[in-house]
Amino acid sequence: MFYRIEKIEAIMNVDLNNSNILLHLHLSFKILDFFEISLP
């Protein structure tokens, strides 16, 4: 599981231990869901 998280961090170039980044990601997905925008 940790390998996958590290891989996601490397691809996205983010630190998923940072609570501000997690909040921004969470809100971004909520906004996409609200507007029913699908990701590729």
pLDDT tens sequence for the chain (40 residues): 899 999 999 999 999 999 999 999 999 999 999 988 877 7
Q: For residue 40, tell me if it sits in a domain.
A: no
Q: For residue 28, tell me if it sits in a domain.
A: yes
Q: For residue 24, tell me if it sits in a domain.
A: yes
| Reported pTM | 0.68
Q: For residue 19, tell me if it sits in a domain.
A: yes
Distance CA 30, CA 40 (A): 16
Q: What is the pLDDT of residue 13?
A: 95
Q: What is the pLDDT of residue 30?
A: 94
Distance CA 28, CA 33 (A): 9
- Residue 13 belongs to what domain range? 1-35
Q: For residue 22, tell me if it sits in a domain.
A: yes
Nearest CA to 25 out of 4, 3, 39 is that of: 39
Cα-to-chain-centroid distance, residue 14: 9
Burial state string for 5-35 with b = 16 or more CB within 10 A and e = fewer than 16: eeeeeeeeeeeeeeeeeeeeeeeeeeeeeee
